């Protein structure tokens, strides 16, 4: 894991996952954050195999300057919910699809949180949207980032219109 000291040049988003085997799915979140120039750190933090490390990570995150945590896990995917229980920061959960059950187990483990402990859950394998949602959360109090998000949305719209035009030609 990249760790940083507490300073304004440190990462704003913590991107964690239960296993390095989740990286092929989670990498899309890193790519989205990088596209927007958002500083982030990446690490493996397992709810079941390194429970104390998970609790320490969650407890220290805000004090280290992080603003959002993206947590991905598969199967019995308890990482996002447990991290959310131990930090005041917004947590975005990414259900990682594994070999069995097509990721439904991951989705249900993450999405069905008890009242009082929210996790913003994206679709199964939806790590890119997790990255984009983190950008939007940061953009709410960052006008420059909000302007970039607006340009991104305009580009999406142009792309669809161009495809429509190609069908007409």
Q: Which of 15, 22, 68, 113 forms a contact with ligand RP5 (CB under 6 A)?
A: 22
**Does 96 engage in binding with ligand RP5 (CB under 6 A)?**
yes
How far apart CA 78 and CA 114 sit, in angstroms, is 13
**Does 18 engage in binding with ligand RP5 (CB under 6 A)?**
yes
Contact 2, 43 (CB under 8 A): yes
H or E segment to which residue 57 belongs: helix 51-61
Stretch that binds ligand RP5, among 12-20, 84-92, 118-126, 143-151 (CB under 6 A): 12-20
**Does 46 engage in binding with ligand RP5 (CB under 6 A)?**
yes
49 is in an annotated binding site: yes
**Does 134 engage in binding with ligand RP5 (CB under 6 A)?**
no
Stretch that binds ligand RP5, among 4-12, 67-75, 126-134, 145-153 (CB under 6 A): 67-75
46 is in an annotated binding site: no
Q: Which residues contact 155 (CB under 8 A, 6 or more apart)?
A: none
Stretch that binds ligand RP5, among 55-63, 68-76, 85-93, 114-122 (CB under 6 A): 68-76
Would you give the end-to-end CA distance of the chain in angstroms? Answer: 50
Q: What is the DSSP string of 20-47?
A: GGGHHHHHHHHHHHHHTT--EEEEE--T
Contact positions toward ligand RP5, by CB under 6 A?
A: 17-19, 21-22, 46, 73-75, 96, 98
């Amino acid at each position: 894991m990249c760790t940083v000291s507490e300073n304004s040049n440190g990462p704003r988003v913590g991107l964690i996952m239960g296993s390095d085997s989740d990286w092929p799915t989670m990498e899309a979140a890193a790519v989205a954050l990088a596209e927007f120039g958002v500083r982030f750190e990446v690490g493996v933090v397992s709810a079941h195999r390194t429970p104390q490390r998970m609790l320490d990570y969650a407890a220290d995150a805000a004090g280290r300057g992080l603003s959002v945590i993206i947590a991905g896990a598969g199967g019995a995917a308890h990482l996002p919910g447990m991290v959310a229980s131990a930090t005041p920061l917004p947590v975005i959960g990414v259900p990682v699809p594994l070999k069995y059950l097509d990721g439904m187990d991951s989705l249900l483990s993450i999405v069905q949180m008890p009242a009082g402990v929210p996790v913003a859950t994206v679709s199964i394998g939806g790590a890119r949207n997790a990255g984009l949602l983190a950008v939007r959360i940061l953009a709410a109090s960052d006008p420059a980032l909000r302007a970039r998000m607006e340009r991104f949305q305009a580009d999406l719209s142009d792309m669809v219109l161009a495809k429509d035009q190609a069908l007409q030609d």
